[in-house]
Amino acid sequence: MGKEDLLNTLEDLGHEEFNKFKWFLQQPDITPGFPTIKKKQLQTTNTWETVDLMVQTYTLPGAVEVTRKVLEKLNRNDLVQSLSENLPDMSPVKYYMCTLC
């Protein structure tokens, strides 16, 4: 799972869905345990800039987890499923912790 997988996932969103996706990144109740991203930072970002900002803010495994949560809120279970298929056989947090070993 890499940044390119996240990019491909976000590129499958329509324009309005992508704007809602960015709105959810600003909501603390959607991403508990993760910092929110300020509206000003997201206002003019395109898909690849949004991926870069998410990875800078959450690390790659965290960005994957937040993406999954937001996609569930958008009722895009098809994208959640396709994102999950690209993950290793462990949770993103365990994957991150394992890479620190």
Which domains occur in the chain, in start order? 3-100 (1.10.533.10)
End-to-end CA distance of the chain: 18
pTM of this structure = 0.82
For 27, 63, 75, 90, the CA distances from 85, given in Å and listed in that order, are 27, 16, 17, 11
Q: What is the pLDDT of residues 57-91, one digit of tens each?
A: 999 999 999 999 999 999 999 999 988 887 654 45
**Tell me, what's the pLDDT at 45?**
96
Mean pLDDT of 35-60: 96
Residue 62: enclosing H or E segment and its boundaries? helix 47-73
Res 99 pLDDT > 60: no
**Tell me, what's the pLDDT at 33?**
87
Report the alpha-carbon distance of residue 32 to residue 8 in Å, rounded: 25
Contact 96/55 with Cβ under 8 angstroms?
A: no
